[in-house]
């Protein structure tokens, strides 16, 4: 999903924060909370390599109590 959202952004660089914020808000609207790693370096490498397993291991997703 991240790559499809990034596709619509006009600038390749500097898009990560807005994409992550959008996904966090989208997840909250659907009862989920997304927690990204504090260090962005590992996430950038995983995204550049399109390593879905590595990306999944860096992100925590939890249900939000209603």
Task: Return the domain boundaries, the chain.
Answer: 2-63
> What pLDDT digit, counting tens, does each position of 17-55 carry?
777 888 889 999 999 999 887 778 888 888 788 888 988
- Per-residue pLDDT at 5 exceeds 80: no
In order of 8, 32, 39, 63, the CA distances from 4 in angstroms are 7, 20, 23, 24
pLDDT at 33: 94
Supply 40's token pair: 């962005």
Question: Between helices 16-29 and 40-48, what is the axis angle to 10°?
Answer: 90
């Amino acid at each position: 999903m991240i790559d499809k959202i990034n596709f619509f952004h006009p600038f390749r660089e500097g898009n990560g924060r807005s994409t992550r914020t959008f996904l966090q808000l989208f997840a909250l609207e659907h009862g989920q909370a997304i927690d990204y790693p504090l260090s962005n370096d590992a996430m950038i490498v995983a995204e550049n390599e399109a390593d879905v397993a590595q990306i999944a291991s860096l992100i925590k997703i939890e249900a939000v109590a209603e």
